[in-house]
Amino acid sequence: MKKLIVVWFALLAVFGVVWGQDALTGKLEIFSWWAGDEGVALQALMTSTRACILGWK
Amino acid sequence: MYPGVEVINATVAGGAGINAKAVLKTRMLGGNPPDSFQVHAGQELIGTWVIAHRMEDLTWLFEEEGLLEAFPKGLIDLISTEEGIWTVPLNIHRSNLIWYIPENLKKWGVEVPTTWEEFLEIAPKLQEQGIIPLALGRNWTAQHLWESVALSVLGPEKWEALWEGGLSFTSPEMIKVWDLFGQILQYTNDDAPSLSWQQAVDLVVNGTAAFNVMGDWAAGYMTSTLGLEPEKDFGWAPSPGTQGIFMMLSDSFGLPIGAPHRENAIAWLKLVGSKEGQDAFNPLKGSISARVDSDLSKYNVYSQSAAADWRSNTIVGSLVHGVVANERFMDGFATVMEIFLASRNSQQAAMAAEAIAIQSGISK
């Protein structure tokens, strides 16, 4: 019984993470004055490792 | 794992955000906010968007992400009121810097001036050789130069007193600031009103001008865009008379009330505040991380020196880049600068500055 409860909570946790991730869809508008030359660093931030993990493009 | 979020990189070009801020104001007042926007930490944020109740409190995000410990207390104070914490700082920039090409100075027989008096002594020698002593761009870059000149005349205590209502804009010290600024302007390029800040930096890089006073985004431009190497290809120093003082500004991002994609914006703000995000952005931008745990090995020699100065210098806030005055004053000060550039009349400029200081609640 204990094992069943552990498995049940583990499944809940996994689905919770997936549902949470699914919420990140749609658009994200970032407004700034960093265009052209000044935009290089912003682009790097947007495509940085963590952004890639989040699945942004 | 995630289906993907389409990031819309909505930029409005123009140094110091002069054009972007006007567009943002229209959108915010029209009920059409972006998901997140760039704003300078300090009065540009607090005195404009927070007092107008247009921002979401991010205190919970700071607690959840450990950002209260990640940023210096003084910086958190700049983005906070008693009601909350309003943006996530992305970087620290330094405003009071003078840029030059070491090889050119050697060729022209001049050294980096440590005071404006020294600059005024060497400027005619440069002019005799056909060199513009000091490169300048359009209006806001003149304001940028002005704040460095003012800091050199006033020192950090009186500079801060000016913004806290403790020093009049018409005081003898402030007249001295305008007088000195006028003298310095005699040694700048005639086409300044038509040049961007990058074009003013270009004048130094291509050997047309000797110096440029600009924030350290100039380092980002020279390294990331022009491919130059700090120390070897270009040099820097505190702007004359401001040794040991770090005039700071910080770009930050916030969450406007009514952001259409709020959850995505929160994910963005977590990235902005993260060590990884800051260390991806700042080495390219010329700024340093706003976090205390930044990996300095990822930064070039300029940024490493800026990080050392940030920790050891006296810190003051920038006017032109939103730290010490609200947008109302900054808008008015652009007009004051326009008047001074045309008239070179110190008394008139000082009185006009005092008038807008009273209107915007700085002077009583």
For the stretch B111-122, pLDDT in tens is 999 999 999 999
Reported as a pLDDT band with limits 50, 70 and 90, residue B311 is very high
Residue among B283, B18, B10, B240 at smallest CA distance from B137? B18
Question: What angle do helix axes B262-273 and B275-285 make, rounded to 10 degrees?
Answer: 70
pLDDT at B45 over 80: yes
Contact (CB<8Å) A33/B13: yes
The tokens describing B93, both together, are 């920039």
Mean pLDDT of A8-23: 53
Mean pLDDT of B231-254: 98
Which of A25, A45, A48 to substitute to test the interface with B, most B CBs within 10 Å? A45
Reported as a pLDDT band with limits 50, 70 and 90, residue A50 is low
- Indicate the helix (H) or strand (E) that contains B211: strand B209-213
Express each pLDDT in B73-91 by its tens digit. Answer: 999 999 999 999 999 999 9
Mean pLDDT over the full length of chain B: 96
B271 touches chain A (CB under 8 A): yes
8 Å CB contact between B66 and B94? no
- The per-residue pLDDT for A9 is 64
Reported as a pLDDT band with limits 50, 70 and 90, residue B201 is very high
Q: What distance in Å separates the CA atoms of residue B319 and residue B163, rounded to the nearest whole number?
A: 9
- A interface toward B at CB cutoff 8 Å? 18, 21-46, 48-51, 54-57
Residue among B151, B113, B149, B150 at smallest CA distance from B133? B113
Mean pLDDT of B194-221: 97
User: Within chain A, what is the greatest distance between any pair of CA atoms?
Assistant: 62
Which of A17, A32, A47 to substitute to test the interface with B, most B CBs within 10 Å? A32
Q: What distance in Å separates the CA atoms of residue B294 and residue A23, rounded to the nearest whole number?
A: 30
8 Å CB contact between B235 and B102? yes
Closest-CA residue of chain A to B4 = A55
- The per-residue pLDDT for A12 is 58
B93 touches chain A (CB under 8 A): no
Contact (CB<8Å) B261/A27: yes
Mean pLDDT of A28-41: 89
pLDDT at A17 over 70: no
Stretch 4-43 of chain B: residues touching chain A, C-beta under 8 Å: 4-21, 24, 27, 34-38
Out of A18, A28, A42, whose CB is closest to B264? A28
Q: What distance in Å separates the CA atoms of residue B90 and residue A44, rounded to the nearest whole number?
A: 13
- The per-residue pLDDT for B64 is 97
Mean pLDDT of B225-244: 98
Q: Which residues of A touch B17 (CB under 8 A)?
A: 32-33
Contact (CB<8Å) A54/B217: no
Mean pLDDT of A19-48: 81
Please state which of the ranges A13-17, A53-57, B84-88, B311-315 shows the lowest mean pLDDT.
Answer: A13-17
Out of B24, B271, B284, whose CB is closest to A41? B284
Reported as a pLDDT band with limits 50, 70 and 90, residue B270 is very high
Reported as a pLDDT band with limits 50, 70 and 90, residue B14 is confident
Query: Of all residues in chain B, what percent carry a pLDDT higher than 70?
Result: 99
Q: What distance in Å separates the CA atoms of residue A28 and residue B3, rounded to the nearest whole number?
A: 13
Residue among B361, B349, B271 at smallest CA distance from B43? B361
pLDDT at A52 over 60: no
Contact (CB<8Å) B6/A57: yes
Contact (CB<8Å) B285/A28: no
| Three-class secondary structure of residue B8 per DSSP | strand
Q: What distance in Å separates the CA atoms of residue B54 and residue B33, rounded to the nearest whole number?
A: 9
Angle at B263 between CA B257 and CA B267, to 5 degrees: 110
State the number of CA atoms in the 13 A half-sphere of B170 facing the CB. Answer: 11
Closest-CA residue of chain B to A35 = B13
Instruction: Give Cα B239 distance to the centre of its chain.
Output: 13
The answer, yes or no, to whether ipTM is higher than 0.85 is yes
Stretch 209-238 of chain B: residues touching chain A, C-beta under 8 Å: 217, 220-221, 224-225
Query: What is the identity of the amino acid at B319?
Result: L
Reported as a pLDDT band with limits 50, 70 and 90, residue A36 is confident
The pTM assigned to this predicted structure is 0.91
The tokens describing B103, both together, are 């090889």
- The per-residue pLDDT for A51 is 60
Backbone angles phi, psi at B243, to 5 degrees: -60, 135
- The per-residue pLDDT for A19 is 47
Backbone angles phi, psi at B100, to 5 degrees: -160, 170
